[in-house]
Structure 1
Amino acid sequence: MHKIEILGFVAATLTTMAFVPQVFKAWKERSTTDISLVMYLVMLFGVILWMIYGIYHGSLPITIANAFTAILVFIMVVLKLKYK
């Protein structure tokens, strides 16, 4: 594996994991009042497009990171709708 691929995986891990505390907090507190549904819907659409881009270019870091991010963002959308 090339060093640039390792860099891609590290970057992907950090940016994806940035969503974990928000998801955990919303789930734990059962509150999403300060969360923008529109922002998360736009983000979800964007990461799905990035995932497709990663698949097209055969980039594992881009594909995996955006797949996991899409799951986390989707969970936030569900929590937002559930705790509305």
Structure 2
Amino acid sequence: MEWTDVLGLVAGICTTVAVVPQIKKALQTKKVEDISPGMFSILIVGVFLWVVYGITQKDMPIIVTNGVSLALNGMMLFLMLRYREK
């Protein structure tokens, strides 16, 4: 594995795990009123496009880290829709 692959993996891991504390808090408190669904929707579109880009470039670090990020951010968006006040 080249150093650029390691760099890509570390960067991807950092951006991917950034949402984990927010998911944990939302699951524990069931409070999501201060989180913007619009921001997460835009983020999900961007991460999805990164996955597509990674596939076109056959770049596994981009595909894997952004694929996991897509799943986590999608989970957060689901929690926001589920727990939001009506």
1:3, distance to aligned residue in structure 2 (A)? 1.1
Q: Which residue of 1 aligns with 2:6?
A: 6
Q: Which runs of 5+ in 1 are unaligned?
A: none
Give the Cα separation in 1 of the matches to 2:54 and 2:77: 23
Give the CA deviation at 1:63: 0.7
Unaligned runs of 5+ in 2: none
Please give the residue correspondences for 1:1-84 in structure 2 after superposition, counting only pairs within 5 Å.
Answer: 1-84=1-84
Equivalent residue pairs, number? 84
SS at match of 2:11: helix
CA-CA distance at 1:9 after TM superposition:
0.8
Once residues 26 and 6 of structure 2 are traced to their aligned partners in structure 1, the CA distance between those partners, rounded to angstroms, is 31
Question: Quick one: which amino acid aligns to residue 40 of structure 2?
Answer: Y
Deviation readout 1:32-56 (Å, 9 max, x if unpaired): 0110011011111110011000011
Q: Could you tell me how far 1:15 is from its partner in structure 2?
A: 1.0
Q: TM-score, normalised by structure 2?
A: 0.93
TM-score by length of 1: 0.95
Q: Match of 2:21, as an amino acid?
A: P
Q: Partners in 2 of 1:18 and 1:77 — Cα distance?
A: 14
What stretches of structure 1 move > 6 A for 4+ residues in a row? none
Structure 2 letter corresponding to 1:50:
W
Q: Read off the aligned partner of 1:40 and give its amino acid letter.
A: F
